[in-house]
Structure 1
Amino acid sequence: MTTATRPHGDARTLALAALTPIAWGSTYAVTTEFLPPDRPLFTALMRALPVGLVLLAITRTLPRGIWIGRAAVLGALNMGIFFPLLFLAAYRLPGGVAGVLAAIAPMFALGFAAVLLAESPTSRKVLAALIGVFGVGLVVLRGTVELDTVGLLAGLAAAASLGAGTVLAKKWGHPAGVGPLTVTGWQLTAAGLIITPLALFIEGAPPALDARAVGGYLYLGVIGTALAYWLWFRGIARVSATSVSFLGLLSPVTAAVIGWIALGEALTPLQILGLVIALAGTVLGQIPTKSVPTPIMRTAGEPVAAR
């Protein structure tokens, strides 16, 4: 018997996974500046189904057996349910409130990880989540806000959906010989099939699109969805699901910074302080906990498998 220690985190993997919420944060500006207004379900559909079908055509691999159901569940939690609820919250609540609700996803991930992965939430992780939510609140909340019950429930449900999807993606991993890009295609296609009837029933026929809108949807599909989710699931497969979930705090922070740089939106000193606090919560959520060395059985002369 020999002893090996499983690394709790990988800085390079986390750095690449951090590009996902950064890309998600950029979608706010793209949506407001390039896309048709008041079509949240159509936008969610365009983010999911076309990209999912393209990835299926590229990877040429369909889910089989138990993975048909798993792909459907993950696609629903990470996109099919998450996208519509997120847009519903965004339309019924002030943007700041919706941003704070989205930042609660790491707290849901901690709870789901405790149940599904037997990962007991440490006091440091809980503190990091609270710090992150507080920092995001300073960035995005402005003045007196009026709260809508349906919007609040939608925002909380969206955060819970993403938290559950992140943890289940870690628990189930992916089939042998199948990479994160293939699994991403499965989930996006499943999500698109879920959103399509909702979009047609609630919003009707698709709107007319000009070149500006087409460019916006291409950006959302390729950068904000395909590349972003591939990096997200790649990170989940290699490091702690809760560590990856904390990176989601970067999304509202990125949205605020882009609004300041590209859209001319002013940042107050209190908002800048919130940016620093939110980043501190993100970093604190990445600090690995001490792990107990895991014994690995091997036969004489057999090398220790890299883990």
Structure 2
Amino acid sequence: MAARDWFWVILLGAIWGCSFLFNAVLIRELGPLWVSAARVGIGALGCWAVFIALRKPLPRSPLLYLQLLFLGILGYAIPFALFPLSQMHLASGVAAIVNALTPITTVIVSHFWPGGERATWLKSAGVVAGFGGAAILALPALQSDGTSQLWAIGACLLATLCYAVSLNYTRRFAKIEPTTIATIALTGAALTGIPVAFLVHGVPLVTRIETWGAALGIGLLATTFAFMVMYRILPRIGATNFTSVTFIAPVSAIIFGVTLLGETLLPSHFLGMAAIFVGLLLIDGRIVRRWQRAGA
């Protein structure tokens, strides 16, 4: 990737690491479905402001609206609810570490996706290392019979699978203007997510100023701004390279979770993160190829 692409990848990783902090604040007053609905709703409003300011035309194809609705539900509404749901039982840093499995699940999905990237032996080794890291993360819960924590880790894994499928599904929108993709998809997620949140959780009651701040932060910064950037660089660098953002997200999530929320991480959590990072390095392959050239 070019230096400018690395800049945006690192910035997005840091921002999305903050989203786990925002989730931890929001679930103190809101149910997980309302956290998701607030994020996609505020994110959609921000995207519409950009869309109108840039005077972008609305698409005419009804099929495109349906496809973007599917993208919004699968790629935004569902995983944005699964992560806050898991954070009711997990520290934000642990949820972010599991989120780092996104490139690994993306390798699996891409291998079987029509026209996707085929997995090499190096990427396959990365998948094994990554899921070994997930198993290490689950060890404390297994040892203490913490079924809620195991369930929460499973919810995070399901969210990464949603991300992996949606990243590959996004390939079909290569010729669609990025602002249009983000705006329509987030609107679809909001139109489906908000009614479901009402039905499940009822009317939300927000009494804390930090809840409003977290909602605006996760909606405008981690969604509107981040998605405007994401859809501009994704066609250029590809789905697998883009998921390198998950190298950065756990680091910022751990820093903010420990310093601002007083969360505690166990040595096994760092060991699991190390195993996942080894898997990511194997999937990326550049360091291994440099070693091979140096040995030759």
TM-score by length of 2: 0.78
Aligned residue identity for 2:100: A
- What's 2:102 paired with? 105
> Contact between 2:104 and 2:279, CA under 8 Å: does it hold in 1?
no
Q: Deviations over 1:217-263 (max 9, x none)?
A: 11111111112222332332111211222432433333223223444
Q: Among 244, 252, 271, which residue is 2:242 paired with?
A: 244
Report if the CA contact (8 A) 1:125-1:284 is conserved.
yes
- SS in structure 2 opposite 1:62? coil
Aligned residue pair count:
279
Question: SS of the residue aligned with 1:207?
Answer: coil
Query: 1:1-307 residue pairs with structure 2 within 5 A?
Result: 9-33=1-25, 36-60=28-52, 61-65=57-61, 66-91=63-88, 98-99=95-96, 101-114=98-111, 115-134=113-132, 142=140, 144-145=143-144, 146-148=146-148, 151=152, 154-175=155-176, 178=177, 180-265=178-263, 278-287=276-285
One-letter amino acid matched to 1:85: L
Instruction: Name which of structure 1's ranges 12-21 and 184-193 shifts more when overlaid on structure 2.
Output: 12-21
C-alpha separation between the residues in 2 aligned to 1:189 and 1:156?
25
Structure 1 position 77, deviation (Å): 1.7
Given the superposition, is the C-alpha separation of residues 281 and 182 from structure 1 closer, same or farther in structure 2, using an over 3 Å criterion?
same
* Pair 1:279–1:182, CA change in 2 (3 A): same
Q: Which residue of 1 aligns with 2:292?
A: none
CA distance in 1, matches of 2:183, 2:282: 32
Return the letter of the residue paired with 1:158.
Answer: A
8 Å CA contact 2:71, 2:169 repeated in 1: yes
Structure 1 residues 58, 95: closer, same or farther in 2, change over 3 A?
closer
| Contiguous gaps of at least 5 residues in structure 1 | 1-8, 291-307
Deviation digits for residues 118-150 of structure 1, max 9, x if unmatched? 311122223334444555766796563523576
Q: 1:30-78 CA distances to partner (integer Å, 9 max, x unpaired)?
A: 3334664352111111111122133224313433313212211211121
Partner of residue 294, structure 1: none
Relative to its length, the structure with more helix (as a share) is 2
Task: Sort the Cα spacing of 1:94 and 1:51 in 2 relative to 1 into closer, same or farther, 3 A.
Answer: closer
Unmatched 5+ stretches in structure 2 = 290-296
Q: Which whole-Å CA distance do the structure 2 matches of 1:54 and 1:94 have between them?
A: 29
8 Å contact kept, 2:32–2:81: yes
The structure-2 alpha-carbon separation of the partners of 1:119 and 1:67, relative to structure 1 and needing over 3 Å to count, comes to: same
Distance 1:63 1:87, change over 3 A: farther
Structure ID, larger Rg: 1
Note closer, same or farther for the CA distance 1:245–1:181 as it changes in structure 2 (3 Å cut).
same
Deviations along 1:8-42, whole A, 9 cap, x unmatched?
Answer: x3343143123323222212223334664352111
Q: Given that residues 17 and 252 in structure 2 are in contact (C-alpha distance below 8 angstroms), is that contact kept between their aligned partners in structure 1?
A: yes
Does structure 2 retain, via aligned residues, the 8 Å contact 1:136–1:253? no
Q: Which deviates further from its counterpart, 16-25 or 265-274? A: 265-274
CA separation in 2, counterparts of 1:31 and 1:97? 13
Scaled by the length of structure 1, the TM-score of the pair is 0.75
AA at the equivalent of 2:51: T
Change (3 A) 1:97 1:269: closer
Percent identical pairs in the alignment equals 24
Label 1:201 to 1:46 Cα distance change in 2 as closer, same or farther (>3 A): same
